[in-house]
Amino acid sequence: MGADFGLMPSLFEPGGIVQQEFFVGSTPVIAFQTGGLKDTVFEFDSHLEKGNGFTFQAYNGQDLIAAIERAIAVYNQPDKYKILRKNAFDSTIDVEDVSRAWNKEFHRLFNKSFIDPVLMKSHKEKINKTFNEKDYQEKMTLKKIKVDVDVNQKTNEVKSKQDYLLDEDDTKSCVFIYRTVKLPKPKDVMLTGSFNDWKEPFPMNYDHILGRWSVTVQLKPGEYL
């Protein structure tokens, strides 16, 4: 914390925690652009007042000395140097972000999904927020006017049919899905129909995770084959 600058002319630095220790002390860093140093130490621009240190790209003594001379030049400008030190402190990576990133990586190694508690809390707060109709602005003319529910007495399966009232010029996003039931998987799957006079088929995209082909088409109200 008492240092004017931290020197890190490392030839190789995979991640680097020392620069973060300097930043916690508001100490700007002079570093070689490699690995984690390249991702965290940025050249200070006196005009834009951005950057948290000084860097050099060629690994030789002359370039290191040039970076040190640029640092001294800013040091001799107290107002600029004060901003540089603030930038260094502000660029410190929060240990909370680091721990969450490692937690996610450990889950990935064991083929598990990481449920971020911070994001979950944020989502719950949004979901539980009281709905105010005055804050809602309808962005589509699509309006649901009728819902018919059909319950199969044998299987208790519920099927719903929704009717919509749309203007003539309105279209609705319709997702077409095709699942591959036999191997080998087809190389390409195309969609065509009466909505485009059976011409210019739409190529469907394959989702390797869900194991299905899909494509979204904008259609006006009506029945199609």
Which residue, among 127, 159, 164, has the nearest Cα to 143 in the 3D structure? 164
Question: Which residues have CB under 8 Å from 147's CB, separation 6+?
Answer: 160, 161, 162, 163
Give the up-direction half-sphere exposure of residue 70: CA atoms within 13 A in the CB hemisphere.
20
Looking at the structure, do residues 115 and 157 belong to the same domain, yes or no?
Answer: no
Looking at the structure, do residues 119 and 190 belong to the same domain, yes or no?
Answer: no
Looking at the structure, do residues 88 and 103 belong to the same domain, yes or no?
Answer: no
Which residue, among 9, 23, 11, has the nearest Cα to 55 in the 3D structure? 9
Looking at the structure, do residues 89 and 102 belong to the same domain, yes or no?
Answer: no
Per-residue pLDDT tens digits of the chain, which is 225 residues long: 789 999 999 998 877 789 999 999 999 999 999 988 998 999 999 999 999 999 999 999 999 999 999 999 999 999 999 999 999 999 988 778 778 888 888 888 888 888 888 888 888 887 777 666 666 555 444 444 444 455 555 555 555 454 444 455 577 888 899 887 777 888 889 999 888 888 888 899 988 777 888 998 888 888 888
Chain-centroid distance, C-alpha 116: 14
Q: Is 65 domain-assigned?
A: yes
Q: Is 33 domain-assigned?
A: yes
Looking at the structure, do residues 184 and 209 belong to the same domain, yes or no?
Answer: yes
Which pair of structure tokens corresponds to residue 153? 């007495």
Domain of 167 in residue numbering reads as: 143-219
Looking at the structure, do residues 155 and 180 belong to the same domain, yes or no?
Answer: yes
Angle at CA 106, nearest 5°, toward 119 and 118?
10
Looking at the structure, do residues 151 and 195 belong to the same domain, yes or no?
Answer: yes
Looking at the structure, do residues 55 and 18 belong to the same domain, yes or no?
Answer: yes
Q: Is 225 domain-assigned?
A: no
Rounded Cα–Cα distance for residues 28 and 4 (Å): 7
**What's the CATH code of the domain at 151?**
2.60.40
- The dihedrals phi and psi of 49, each to the nearest 5 degrees, come to 60, 40
Looking at the structure, do residues 168 and 196 belong to the same domain, yes or no?
Answer: yes
Residue 165 near residue 143 (C-beta atoms within 8 A) = yes
**What's the CATH code of the domain at 43?**
3.40.50.2000
Looking at the structure, do residues 107 and 175 belong to the same domain, yes or no?
Answer: no
Give the up-direction half-sphere exposure of residue 195: CA atoms within 13 A in the CB hemisphere.
17
User: Strand ranges (DSSP E) for 4-130?
Assistant: 6-8, 29-32, 53-56
pLDDT for 107 equals 86
Rounded Cα–Cα distance for residues 188 and 216 (Å): 16
